[in-house]
Structure 1
Amino acid sequence: MSSLAPPLLSGHAVPGMTTLRRFVLVAALVAGGAMIGLLSRHAFSVAFWPANAVLVGAMLRKPLLFRPSGWAGAFAGFLTTDLVFDRNVELSAFFALANTAGTLTATLALRRLDPADLRLERVHSVLRILAGLIPGCCVAALIGAVLVVVEFHGSAAQTLLTWPASELVNYLVVLPVLLTLRHPDAQPPRIAEPPLWPAGALALSCVAAVQFDGPGSIMFPMPALLLCALTYPVAITAVLTMLLGTGCLVTIGLGMVAIGQDMAIPRLVLSVRIAVAFLVLVPLTISSAMAVQDALLRQLRDAADHDGLTGLLNRRAFETRLQERLAQHLPPGGGLALLWLDLDHFKAINDRHGHPAGDAVLCAVADTLRGVCGPGELCGRLGGEEFALLLSAPDRAAAHRAAERLRAAIGAQRVDWHGTTIHATASIGACHLTRLPADAAALLRRLDEAMYRAKRGGRNRIEWLDAPGAARAA
């Protein structure tokens, strides 16, 4: 069954996973979730049941668990936990079968979704996940209806009405957190520090819901939760909705918060759980849509800041970031090497080999510049065949070595163009800064002049600039 889909979310397999280890791991996860559910049960049913969502989340995050031994472990986890709570074997096996069959159906449906949907990174991701969960809830409800009729002589129609709603709300409360949880090895996105006051507003609205109890109090936190969805990333919104949804299910189900409803009446339980489902569903959908918008804005910003041919920073973005760096205080021993370079005889390359060949040379030079730049350093294409770099150089000697390595690397570079070898050299205007320049714009103009002096002096050379805080000309 594992061939149905590739690894969906983390893509990280568990090394050395044996059949027994897989069985025990899944059984332990399921038993832990089921224990929480059975501890929160009340007269009519459990108030909160995270076990199914934990199982589905684990199967999606770690596809290597999706094996017969993993599902056998799931059944064993459900069965064992029921037996601990003094249910007979037949009844426990029936419940375990319903939960295992439901989670297997939900997992199979969700494995068909795009990985971006499972990470809640598309506009309709939450609705697609909801659609994938419904078949699993219905399968579990069908088996549960047989159980209710055979063992308790109850109503199959009532079971088919209440069981799917209970399953669905527990999935919606827990599963998004598991799906959006980043892998420890993943590089976290660079985002601004989110403000705390929307979460504070949510906490205050929860206090108000407890103080002013009644059927409508369950929706008191909705405005603050929507504000959180507009403010925070999807992962944080998922955690907040889980905390709020869990709190609602447990406190209302156990009678800790009075909402004026008899929680022993199935249709009232159904009404409350549908309300909690919407309380969770709406903010997650909005947060997912905001994530898509933010990703598109990042793409637009990236396209606006980078040269379309080489992928380096364009002139505007390079000069903006350079100004930001030059506005910062240089730490002791934290000098900078600023290099302005222009390829020699580049027009001749275009005239002789054509503009596509010239583009290939520009891309090769850009790759060389990227190889020179380290974290926090800048490289950009200023236009045409002109480039610039800002490198860390604690002293003049380090700046000279970096500039000479760059000049030599460009001169040694060879581009194979349809059997013809093309190479280019660069003339470089350079300076070493040990303190901030008083006039950055004037410094850049003088660097440009130094670059042209290097061309007039014979090309393929470096002209060092006299500047405030810069090394003396070489």
Structure 2
Amino acid sequence: MTAPIIHLRTRAEGFKAQPENMSAGSLPTVIEGGNSIFCSAFLAAVGINFIQPVNVTASPRALSFLFKHKEPAVNAIAFRSRTSARAITHPLAAALIVAIVVYLASLFGILTRPVGFLAALWPANAILLGLMVRKPDLATFWGWLGAFAGYLAADLSTGGDLKLTLWLTVANMSGAITGYLLFGLIPATDRGMQRPLSVLKILGICIVAASVASLVGGGAARLAFGRDFLSGLEFWFVTEFVNALIILPVMLTLPLSASGWRTWCLSIATCSRAKVAPLLVLFCTVAAGVWIGGPGAVAFVVPALLFCALTYSIFNVALLTMLTCSWLLVAISAGIIQIDVQGDPLATTSSLRLGIALIALAPLTAASIDTARRELLEQLAYAASRDGLTGALNRKTFLDMASKLLGDPSRTARSIAILMVDIDHFKQINDNHGHAMGDAVLKAFARFVSDILRPGDLFGRMGGEEFAIALPGTDMDKAAEISERIRKATEDAAEEFSGLSVTVSIGVTTSESHPSENIEALLATADQALYRAKAAGRNRVRRG
């Protein structure tokens, strides 16, 4: 069934629901037309996810509204993003995509496995699980059926026994389905490895999924390489666990949108020498492991991977960790890294694989903690630069940013407009309706003006009911036009202010009119024009 397209709009644009009724659970009932932009990825980023896949659009003002009234308690695994890729709604298309992915991943594992053993590197299960978690529109009956067909086709096309192939396929599917269900129980931030405990939660999911798969497939050891059930149980668990732990983080952090890939490619292309150093150290430790050999060679890469974890993004760390651990698995299996095997070869192999997988925990955990730390620092920096009530820039930040705009050499030939805006008769609003209503008017006005301004414009609260706006690349006529638009929109937007009639007076000046003045002088000039607007009767614009 095709997912519905939902258009979200603010109350001022025709959405009549009250904010307290605005929740992720009620969003699917809000159907509005109009010109709007796709925002499913934004909704997911701010914590609004949907139990049922939906296609969502929202106007710019609705985005601001949603960010302030998000419902983080609603947690679901399924949402559909039309910003990254079109949803796959045809069941046969979903089945075909999954079947091809699983077939190619399984074929890689089959062709790289030693004769008479299960594959040392089996990426198919982890790729399938990551695909279903990241693209839940594929996680349908037809999608899982496509995965089943992909497993069968890969093994049978390489000469596999039908009975053994069916057994192994059921075991692979059982682990992937178990993991998918468990991922639905953790928050989206943990699925994206953005919290300090995210890796431990993913570790737990990998253990449970590998346990289920090994219980189902352990008995196939006798048919595969003549081992008893316990040996098969051990080998299957270790192989499944190791591959999930080193491959799944890449799938969970992989950029899905074209813009995400462009950003990633740009970061690689513009990488500084300092950013290259961890990669060079990692290469040297890998080479040292091959040269020296022995059981300790698998641990040589740990310091380098930790260096990478403190330098690169979470996706880059996951990718490097996967490549490094995959190399160790294949190199040991192929004899490139010489390790003396004593006793049972199967037990020794299992021990080495577990050790390699657990090595991956260190850089992944460090990268998750570093990601959470950076996010916290960004939040603190945002809070320090904003007015606590309105969300506009605070006075100091506005002055600093406006001064940088004014002194930017690339902008010296372009005019910068400065607006001083004051809400008329604001004291009467506080006296007649209470300070709570006054605060509500300030917040509504700030949100209202922010939606009108361009992305590069600056909007700050200077104190009380007085605000300042900086418009780069704007001459006097254009600035006056924007000021009049703000004044008229405020006058006509009683619904935004809970039915109150709110007006503003605005003073405008530009650096073009006063080329020798700094930002403080321009603000003073605009403030004088503001007072003239008030003296002329308020609710008007005056140039300075």
Task: Settle same-fold status: TM greater than 0.5.
Answer: yes
1:19 to 73, 91, 95: 91
> Paired residues, what number?
461
Task: Look up the match of 1:116.
Answer: 189
Match of 1:291 in 2: 371
Question: Is the Cα contact below 8 Å between 2:221 and 2:227 reproduced in 1?
Answer: yes
- What one-letter code is carried by the residue in structure 2 that aligns with 1:391? L
More off after superposition, 189-198 vs 354-363: 189-198
Contact 1:40 1:254 in 2 (8 A): no
- Residue equivalent to 2:437: 357
Counterpart CA distance in 2 for 1:249 and 1:135 is 22
Query: Contact conserved, 1:327 with 1:436, CA < 8 A, in 2?
Result: no
Amino acid at match of 2:505: A
- Once structures 1 and 2 are overlaid, which stretch shifts more, 226-235 or 327-336? 327-336
1:10 and 1:61 in contact (8 A); partners too: no
Cα shift at 1:154: 1.7
**Which residue among 97, 114, 126 is the counterpart of 1:42?**
114
**1:217 maps to amino acid:** A
Q: Report deviation, 1:379.
A: 0.7
Change (3 A) 1:120 1:391: same
Distance in 1 (alpha carbons) for counterparts of 2:421 and 2:146: 64
1:436 Cα deviation from its structure 2 partner: 6.5
Q: Distance in 2 between matches of 1:269 and 1:291?
A: 34
- Identify the residue that residue 519 of structure 2 maps to in structure 1: 440
Candidates 270, 283, 286, aligned match of 1:203? 283
- Per-residue CA distance 1:418-467 (angstroms, 9 max, x = gap): 7x6332221424224389756434433444344334444544444433xx
Q: Which residue of 1 aligns with 2:210?
A: 137
SS in 2 for 1:391: strand
SS at match of 1:382: strand
1:90 aligns with 2:163: yes
**Structure 1: 5+ residue stretches without partners:** 466-474
Aligned partner of 1:469 in structure 2 is none
2:146 aligned with 1:73, yes or no?
A: yes
CA distance in 2, matches of 1:21, 1:314: 52
Distance in structure 2 (CA, Å) of the matches to 1:196 and 1:11: 36
The Cα shift of 1:10 comes to 6.0
Contact 1:106–1:134, Cα closer than 8 Å, also in 2 = no
Tell me, in whole angstroms, the C-alpha distance in 2 between the residues paired with 1:462 and 1:387: 14
Residues 220, 152 of structure 1: alpha-carbon distance in 2 compared, 3 angstrom cutoff: closer
CA distance in 2, matches of 1:456, 1:435: 23
In 2, the alpha carbon distance for the partners of 1:351 and 1:70 equals 63
The aligned counterpart of 2:130 is: 57
Q: What letter is aligned with 1:34?
A: S
CA separation of 1:369 and 1:277: change in aligned 2, threshold 3 A? same
Superposition map of 1:363-402 within 5 A:
363-402=443-482
Q: CA deviation at 1:359?
A: 1.9
Distance 1:89 1:63, change over 3 A: same
Structure 1 range deviating more: 8-17 or 20-29? 8-17
Q: Is the 8 A contact 2:129 2:176 kept in 1?
A: yes
Q: Tell me what 1:472 maps to.
A: none
Deviations 1:52-97 (A, max 9, x none): 0111111111222222222222222111111122122112222212
Which is further off, 399-408 or 434-443?
A: 434-443
Indicate the residue corresponding to 2:388 in structure 1.
308
Matched-pair contact (CA < 8 Å) for 1:263–1:269: no
Whether 1:181 aligns to 2:237 is no
| SS, match of residue 310 in structure 2 | helix
Partner of 2:297: 217
Separation of aligned partners in 2, 1:263 and 1:33: 32
* Structure-2 change in CA distance of 1:331 and 1:319 (3 Å): closer
Q: Tell which deviates more after alignment, 72-81 or 406-415.
A: 406-415
Bigger RCO (CA 8 Å, 6+ sep):
1
Show CA shifts across 1:207-256 (max 9, x none): 22222222112111111111211222211111111111111112221122
| Alignment partners' CA distance in 2, 1:156 and 1:273 | 20
**1:237 matched to which residue of 2?**
317
> Following the alignment from structure 1 to structure 2, what is the Cα–Cα distance between the partners of residues 163 and 341?
69
TM-score (norm 2): 0.77
Q: 1:402 to 1:152 in 2, by over 3 A?
A: closer
**Secondary structure of the residue that 2:469 maps to in structure 1?**
strand
Q: Secondary structure at the match of 1:225?
A: helix
Question: Considering only CA atoms, is the larger Rg found in Structure 1 or Structure 2?
Answer: 1
> How far, CA to CA, are the matches of 1:292 and 1:16 in structure 2?
32
Structure-2 residue corresponding to 1:271: 351
Residues 12 and 405 of structure 1: CA distance in aligned 2, closer, same or farther (over 3 Å): closer
Q: Structure 2: how far apart are the matches of 1:197 and 1:394?
A: 44
CA distance in 2, matches of 1:251, 1:80: 28
Counterpart contact for 2:290–2:336, Cα < 8 Å: no
C-alpha distance in structure 1 between counterparts of 2:475 and 2:154, whole Å? 67
Deviation at 1:370, TM superposition (A): 0.9
